[in-house]
Amino acid sequence: MQAAGVTRIVGVDREGALVRGNSYAHEAWRWYAEHTNPEMESGALSDVIEGADIFIGVSGPGVLKRTDIERMAADPIVFAMANPTPEILPEEAEGLVRVMATGRSDYPNQINNVLCFPGLFRGVLDCRASHVTEAMKLAAAQAIADVVSEEELGEHYIIPGVFNPHVAERVKEAVIQAAYASGVARRRVRSTTS
């Protein structure tokens, strides 16, 4: 998210906001605290969510409450991706959110890593990339987003479905082009879309 230009990111675990200078048992938590939360906000999720534009949940069921969403900025976006039960169910957030997404296939806007990986791996393998760069990840994300046309784009359709036949090919092509631009491609590949 930082590579895409997001500057205000506040991570929260069971104990509250991850804050630089605190001691954390997990190395990932320590890194996260050092590289995010620039205003050093502290407190529980319900404290730090005030004014937030987006909630991205990858935790567990029931973590986000309606009262939390009410404290967010106008027209908030909620990605509640815990599976099988998201941080808040779409019907509980109804009327409060502008865009709602979950990791579940029985709701609109399913966020699923299957949209990324077949095309990403195919692109990496085809051009023999020495490693995956941030530019390649961003290119994959943009390619997924670009599958949804302006005419199709709406609050209940911000991301293509997992069975959309165009996703993997577009992600592959975008990843290959980004690998060339990043200088990590070790093999030239003929484009299948040109």
Q: Mind listing the pLDDT tens digit for each residue in 65-114?
A: 999 999 999 999 999 999 999 999 999 999 999 999 999 999 999 999 99
Q: Mind listing the pLDDT tens digit for each residue in 16-27?
A: 999 999 989 889
Clarify whether residues 97 and 130 are in a common domain: no
pLDDT value, residue 188? 87
User: What are the b/e assignments for 9-26, b being 16+ CB within 10 Å?
Assistant: bbbbeeebbbbeeeebee
What whole-number percentage of the chain has pLDDT above 70? 98
Q: Is residue 187 part of a domain?
A: no
Q: Is residue 130 part of a domain?
A: yes
Tokens of 65: 């409450």
Q: Is residue 85 part of a domain?
A: yes
Number of DSSP helices (H) and strands (E) in the chain, helices first = 7, 5
Clarify whether residues 134 and 160 are in a common domain: yes
- Cα–Cα dist 122/135, whole Å: 16
Last residue of a domain, one of 77, 102, 127: 102
Q: Mind listing the pLDDT tens digit for each residue in 105-148?
A: 999 999 999 999 999 999 999 999 999 999 999 999 999 999 99
- Cα–Cα dist 144/169, whole Å: 10
Q: Is residue 108 part of a domain?
A: no
Q: Which helix (H) or strand (E) holds 77?
A: strand 77-80
Last residue of a domain, one of 102, 129, 147: 102
Clarify whether residues 21 and 98 are in a common domain: yes
pLDDT value, residue 192? 59
pLDDT value, residue 193? 55
pLDDT value, residue 191? 63
Question: How far from chain centre, in Å, is Cα 135?
Answer: 15
Q: Is residue 149 part of a domain?
A: yes
Clarify whether residues 95 and 147 are in a common domain: no
Reply yes or no on whether the pLDDT at 194 is more than 90: no
On whether the CB atoms of residues 167 and 128 are closer than 8 A, the answer is: no
Residue 190: DSSP 8-state: -
Last residue of a domain, one of 43, 67, 102: 102
Give the domain extent around 41.
12-102
Of 31 and 191, more confident: 31
pTM: 0.89
Reply yes or no on whether the pLDDT at 49 is more than 80: yes
Q: Mind listing the pLDDT tens digit for each residue in 162-177?
A: 999 999 999 999 999 9
The dihedral formed by the CA atoms of 117, 2, 52 and 58, expressed in degrees to the nearest 10: 30
Sequence-distant (≥ 6) Cβ neighbours of residue 3 within 8 angstroms: 134, 135, 137, 138
Of 191, 141, 134, residue with least CA distance to 167: 141
Clarify whether residues 94 and 119 are in a common domain: no
Length, in residues, of the chain:
194
Number of domains in the chain: 2
Clarify whether residues 122 and 168 are in a common domain: yes
Q: Is residue 193 part of a domain?
A: no
- Cα–Cα dist 191/185, whole Å: 14
